[in-house]
C-alpha cells in the first residue's frame, strides 16, 4: 500500500507539499499540485480520512439518526432528501437507527459523536426534550427533524401533524361522512400520535360531532397493526362509513381487512391515509392521503445543518412544513 512518502518521492516534492495538496490547506504551485495528483493516481494512493480530519478538524461526515431502517419507505425518502444536499457539499452521511427506543437513541447519538461527525440530524422520538436541549448546547451542530424541541426552535424542521389530520378528516366530512373511524398508533406517548389524535378530535368538534372512543382502533403503526386495529373495530360491531389512518401503512392493512370481510371500497367504506408513501398511488383503490413532504424536510434539515456548521445565518430557510391533501380514488 502506497504511503505519503511514496507520493512525495514520485512527484519529486516534499511530504509537506503532498499534505497541503491532500488537505487543501495552503497555496501550492499548479505544476506541483498536478505532479502530486498524478503520482497519487499512479500509485492508487488513498488519503487517510482520519488523518485528514485531524488536520482540518472536520470529518466531512454528517451523522443521521433515523427511527427504523425496516419500517417502510418513510425513512428512505428522508435520507434521499438529506443525501441530495450532503452530496453536493462533498460530505458523507453516517446513519444509525434508534428504533424509537430511548436507550437505543441515546447510544446511537453517542456513537455518532464519537465518530467525530461534523453535525447531527436527529429524528428522535424517545429522548426527552431536556436531553436534546443539552445536545444543542454542545459544540457539534444539531438539527432535529419531525420534532419541536423547546428552546431550540431554530434547529427544528417539522410538520404540522394536527393540521394535516384535520385536513384529511375534513375531506371525509365534506364528502358527507359523519361516522369516521380512526386507526392509530397504540403508543400514546408518541408525539405524532398525540398531534394526529388532536387533529381528528378538532375536525369532529368543529363539525359538531362528539368524539366516540369506540370508533378508535389502536395498534402498532404498520400494515399488520392497521389490519389488527380494523379487525377489532369490526368485531365491536360499531357502525362507520369512513376510516382515517395514522399513516398509509396502517390504512393498507385496514383495507386488506375490510376487503377480506367483504366490504367494497370506497362504495361502502371510504378511507384516507397519511404520508403519501410511494405505494399509496399503486394499491387498489388508489389511496387518497395527506402528503408528508419528508424528502423535502430531509433536504431542509441538511441545509440547516450545513449552515450551522459553516456559521452561516439560516435566514430564509422555512422550517415549518404543511401537509397537503392528495385526492385519489378511495373516498366516495
Co-location of 279 and 172 in the same domain: yes
Asked whether 275 and 259 are in contact (CB, 8 A), the reply is no
pLDDT tens-digit profile of 66-112? 988 776 788 999 999 999 999 999 899 999 999 889 999 999 999 99
Asked whether 195 and 183 are in contact (CB, 8 A), the reply is no
Is residue 169 classed exposed, middle or buried when 0-12, 13-18 and 19+ CB atoms within 10 A define those classes? buried
Asked whether 236 and 208 are in contact (CB, 8 A), the reply is no
CATH number of the structural domain spanning residue 173: 3.40.50.2300
**Domain that residue 210 falls in:** 161-291
Q: Is residue 200 one of the residues assigned to a domain?
A: yes
pLDDT tens-digit profile of 243-259? 999 999 999 999 999 99
| Of residues 292, 293, 277, the one with CA closest to residue 223 | 277
Number of domains in the chain: 2
Co-location of 180 and 269 in the same domain: yes
Co-location of 317 and 283 in the same domain: no
Q: Is residue 21 one of the residues assigned to a domain?
A: no
pLDDT tens-digit profile of 13-64? 998 888 888 877 668 888 988 998 998 888 888 876 655 555 556 688 999 9
Q: How far is CA 84 from CA 77, 97, 254, 302, 313, in A?
A: 11, 20, 34, 9, 21
Amino acid at each position: 500500500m502506497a504511503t505519503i512518502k511514496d507520493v512525495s518521492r514520485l512527484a519529486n516534492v516534499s511530504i509537506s507539499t503532498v499534505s497541503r495538496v491532500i488537505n487543501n490547506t495552503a497555496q501550492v504551485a499548479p505544476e506541483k499540485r498536478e505532479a502530486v495528483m498524478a503520482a497519487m493516481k499512479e500509485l492508487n494512493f488513498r488519503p487517510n480520512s482520519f488523518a485528514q480530519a485531524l488536520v482540518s478538524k472536520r470529518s466531512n461526515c454528517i451523522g443521521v439518526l433515523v427511527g427504523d431502517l425496516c419500517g417502510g419507505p418513510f425513512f428512505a425518502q428522508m435520507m434521499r432528501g438529506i443525501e441530495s444536499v450532503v452530496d453536493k457539499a462533498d460530505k458523507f452521511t453516517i446513519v444509525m437507527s434508534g428504533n424509537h427506543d430511548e436507550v437505543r437513541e441515546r447510544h446511537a447519538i453517542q456513537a455518532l459523536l464519537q465518530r467525530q461527525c461534523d453535525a447531527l440530524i436527529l429524528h428522535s422520538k424517545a429522548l426527552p426534550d431536556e436531553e436534546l436541549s443539552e445536545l444543542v448546547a454542545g459544540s457539534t451542530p444539531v438539527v432535529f427533524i419531525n420534532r419541536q424541541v423547546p428552546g431550540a426552535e431554530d434547529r427544528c424542521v417539522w410538520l404540522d401533524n394536527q393540521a394535516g389530520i384535520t385536513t384529511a378528516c375534513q375531506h371525509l366530512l365534506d364528502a358527507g361522512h359523519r361516522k369516521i373511524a380512526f386507526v392509530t398508533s397504540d403508543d400514546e406517548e408518541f408525539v405524532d400520535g398525540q398531534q394526529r389524535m388532536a387533529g381528528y378530535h378538532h375536525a369532529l368538534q368543529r363539525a359538531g360531532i362528539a368524539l366516540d372512543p369506540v370508533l378508535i382502533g389502536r395498534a402498532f403503526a404498520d400494515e399488520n397493526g392497521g389490519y389488527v386495529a380494523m379487525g377489532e373495530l369490526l368485531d365491536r360491531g360499531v357502525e362507520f362509513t369512513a376510516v382515517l389512518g395514522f399513516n398509509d401503512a396502517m390504512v393498507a392493512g385496514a383495507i386488506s381487512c375490510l376487503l377480506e370481510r367483504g366490504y367494497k371500497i370506497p362504495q361502502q367504506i371510504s378511507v384516507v391515509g397519511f404520508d403519501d408513501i410511494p405505494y399509496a398511488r399503486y394499491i387498489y383503490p388508489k389511496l387518497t392521503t395527506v402528503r408528508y413532504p419528508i424528502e423535502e424536510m430531509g433536504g431542509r434539515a441538511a441545509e440547516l445543518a450545513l449552515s450551522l456548521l459553516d456559521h452561516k445565518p439560516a435566514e430564509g430557510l422555512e422550517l415549518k412544513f404543511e401537509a397537503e391533501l392528495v385526492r385519489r380514488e378511495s373516498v366516495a
